[in-house]
Structure 1
Amino acid sequence: MLLVACSKDTDKVNSLPQDEFIQAYFNHRETKTQTYVDPYRQIERPGDDLEAIIIQEIASAKSSIDLAVYELNLPLIAQALAKSSLRGWQ
């Protein structure tokens, strides 16, 4: 038995309005409309640079940081959290 499937390239979908306090990011995108360079391996990857986004949010925190993760194996985020604790943030 031979099964074959084809699909055309996915067109870029226009962004929908978002609540100002809720932002959605994706670490993998099928359309490759958004790419970034991995800071560890220096390779281009599809999706949002979640690590850079999280680091930027940590740096802009005014009083506290709440971060829920299943597993943290990104040293730059750990360093940003350590720096924020030196500023007195909880």
Structure 2
Amino acid sequence: MSLSTPADLGAAPRGFRGRILGLRPPEAGAVAPEELERRLIELGFVEGALVEILHQGLFGRDPIAVRLQSATIALRRREAAAILVEPLS
């Protein structure tokens, strides 16, 4: 999958580097959209932050390890799908 245009972080491959454009939590899920958005913001997933996918799990590519600024955070791909990103040039 090519990420030359804005997409969600959950669809990005290992090695992807980009900038966060915003959050778009799904309406249906294990966690209410407002709660997921609050959790992601508290972790630092805010507009303009730089992200990189460092690692992915062996089975189903889940979870993923994401470098956010200088921190490394593990996310499920379904949570990462709520994070809109654009690739760095």
Give the TM-score normalised by the residue count of structure 1: 0.22
Greater relative CO, 1 or 2 (CA 8 Å, sep 6+): 2
Give the TM-score normalised by the residue count of structure 2: 0.22
**Larger % of helix: which?**
1
> Higher Cα Rg: structure 1 or 2?
1
